[in-house]
Amino acid sequence: MPDPRALRIDVGPFHLAPTPDASTWTAVPRGDAAGSASGISAGWGEWVAFAAQVLRADELWRSVEARGDAWDEGFAAARDARAVNPYR
C-alpha cells in the first residue's frame, strides 16, 4: 500500500503537494505542476492552524451576514403596515 503522506491533497483552488522532506507540504495553485517552486511550504501543524483560522474567519463572516439579513428582514417588515416584524 502506498504511503498516504506521498499523495497530493486537493483543496479548492490549490493543492498540497508533499516535498522531499516528509515533514513539509507545499501549497501550489491547481494550474501549476506539483513541483512548482512558487508555492508556500509549511509543516503539517502549520497547515492545520491555517485551516482553523480560515474556518474561524468563515464563521465570523456568516455571523455578520446573518445579522445583516435579520436587519433587512426587520426593515422590510417595518415598511409594510400589514407585515409582522418577527424581531419586535
CA dist., res. 35 & res. 31, Å (int): 12
Average pLDDT, the chain: 75
Q: Whose CA is closest to 20, among 35, 3, 30, 1?
A: 35
CA dist., res. 77 & res. 87, Å (int): 9
Sign of the C-alpha dihedral, residues 55, 40, 5, 35?
A: positive
All three cell numbers of 42: 509549511
What does the pLDDT look like over 33-43, one tens digit per residue? 545 456 788 88
- Give the confidence band of 53 by pLDDT, cuts at 50, 70, 90: very high
> In angstroms, how far apart are the furthest CA atoms of the chain?
68
What does the pLDDT look like over 62-74, one tens digit per residue? 888 877 777 777 7
